[in-house]
């Protein structure tokens, strides 16, 4: 019996050592991923502050619970308020679903991003799915070097914010690395040429301003809206511009309402209810939104 115990103990000890080593090696990368995910989620949820700053605020509720939210600003000196960002969490079908949501000063949702979920693959996990129209033929053309120019658009960027803004706006876009290289190399004309062309817009739709240094150029608001719409998961788009009273669960596929995904109703209802709850606490924390919500 002692031998059996010793053998099992030895095996678990060696396994623990190995796992400890792997954990120590991967934890910085995991932490970094989490930090980047949270940062990108805040900027996606509150697009007006995509190139601005966020100030963390801790609110102590009457019940003794603390609630964290961020105040987002369009500029670095925090004089132009853009809205609030907070996190909603609720128990889904097989995991806790965490959602970062942005709310403007009037209490309307400006954007959302799911930052954590372990729902059933293909069902509940589709709440993060971005619709695509790219075909197999497009992929073959790209491989053959005959594909369309990738979409490119950035908001105002400066010498300190260049990389950050590009990462926010172009994270999921093809060839974003190439665009970064163009900007880093100072080849601004190439980047600005690509933006309207890639999005199928006329040159009048985009405006470019060059200052060197700092490097800066802007793209028309319509371009940015189009880019954001293409980068936001279809499920979450249905929350945008809704106040907490307007959050509904519909039963059919329409962009007008939140869709209850077949087989994953629990996941979608969880997101809706947790967001509504978070907005209620946020409203209390900020002392009420400026305008009445419908």
Partner 1 sequence: MSVSLTREFTKGFIRENPVFRIVLGLCPVLAVTTSLKNGIGMGFAATFVLVGSNVIVSLVRKGIPARIRIPCYIVVIASFVTVVDLVMAGYTPELHKSLGIFIPLIVVNCIILGRAEAFASKNTVGRSFIDGIGMGLGFTFALAITAAVREIIGTGKIWDLVLLGTRYNPVLIAVLAPGAFITLGLLIGLFNLLERKEG
Closest C-alpha to 41, from 54, 60, 27, 28? 54
The torsion defined by the Cα of 68, 81, 151 and 212, in degrees rounded to 10, comes to -120
- Number of residues in the chain: 294
CB atoms under 10 Å from CB of 30, counted, come to 10
Per-residue contact track with partner 1, 246 to 275, x per CB under 8 A? ----------------xx------------
Query: How far apart are CB 273 and partner 1 at their closest, in Å?
Result: 21
- Of 96-104, 112-120, 221-229, 267-275, which part binds partner 1 (CB under 8 A)? 112-120
230 belongs to the binding site for partner 1 (CB under 8 A): no
CB 176 within 8 A of CB 166: yes
Q: Which residue, 16 or 149, has its beta carbon nearer to partner 1?
A: 16
Q: Give the binding-site size for partner 1 (rule: CB under 8 A).
A: 38
Round to whole Å and give the CA distance between 78 and 59: 19
Query: How far apart are CB 37 and partner 1 at their closest, in Å?
Result: 7
- Of 24-32, 148-156, 175-183, 232-240, which part binds partner 1 (CB under 8 A)? 24-32
Can the peptide bond before residue 262 be classed as cis, meaning omega within 30 degrees of 0?
A: no
87 in helix, strand or coil? Answer: strand
Round to whole Å and give the CA distance between 240 and 107: 11
CB atoms under 10 Å from CB of 224, counted, come to 18
Pick from 60, 68, 96, 122 the residue near partner 1 by CB under 8 A.
Answer: 122
- Of 57-65, 67-75, 123-131, 207-215, which part binds partner 1 (CB under 8 A)? 123-131
Per-residue contact track with partner 1, 48 to 87, x per CB under 8 A? ----------------------------------------
CB atoms under 10 Å from CB of 197, counted, come to 16
214 belongs to the binding site for partner 1 (CB under 8 A): no
The H or E element containing residue 274 is: helix 265-285
Q: Which residue, 3 or 56, has its beta carbon nearer to partner 1?
A: 3
Joined together, the tokens standing for residue 142 give: 């790209």
158 belongs to the binding site for partner 1 (CB under 8 A): no
Q: Interface residues with partner 1 (CB under 8 A)?
A: 3-4, 7-8, 11-12, 15, 18-19, 22-23, 26-27, 29-30, 33, 37, 94-95, 116-123, 125, 128, 132-136, 138-139, 262-263
């Amino acid at each position: 019996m002692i031998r059996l115990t010793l053998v099992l103990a030895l095996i678990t000890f060696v396994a623990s050592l190995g796992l400890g080593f792997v954990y120590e090696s991967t934890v910085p990368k995991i932490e970094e991923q989490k930090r980047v995910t949270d940062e990108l989620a805040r900027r996606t949820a509150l697009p007006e502050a995509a190139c601005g700053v966020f100030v963390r605020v801790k609110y102590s509720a009457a019940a003794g619970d603390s609630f964290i939210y961020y105040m987002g600003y369009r500029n670095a000196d925090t004089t132009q308020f853009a809205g609030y960002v907070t996190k909603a969490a609720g128990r889904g079908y097989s995991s806790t679903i965490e959602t970062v949501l942005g709310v403007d000063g009037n209490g309307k949702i400006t954007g959302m991003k799911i930052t954590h979920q372990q729902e059933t693959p293909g069902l509940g996990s589709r709440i993060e799915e971005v619709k695509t129209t790219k075909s197999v033929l497009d992929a073959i053309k790209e491989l053959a070097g005959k594909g369309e120019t990738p979409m490119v658009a950035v908001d105002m960027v400066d010498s300190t914010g260049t990389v950050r803004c590009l990462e926010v706006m172009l994270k999921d876009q093809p060839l974003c690395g190439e665009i970064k290289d163009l900007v880093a190399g100072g080849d601004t004309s190439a980047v600005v040429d690509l933006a309207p062309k890639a999005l199928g817009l006329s040159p009048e739709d985009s405006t470019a301003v060059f200052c060197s240094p700092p490097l800066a150029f802007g793209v028309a608001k319509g371009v940015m809206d189009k880019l954001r719409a293409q980068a936001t998961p279809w499920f979450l788009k249905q929350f945008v511009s809704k106040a907490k009273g307007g959050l509904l669960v519909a039963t059919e596929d329409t962009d007008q309402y939140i869709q209850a995904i077949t087989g994953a109703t629990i996941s979608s209802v969880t997101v809706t209810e947790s967001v509504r709850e978070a907005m209620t606490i946020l409203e209390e924390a900020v002392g009420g939104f400026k305008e009445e919500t419908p």
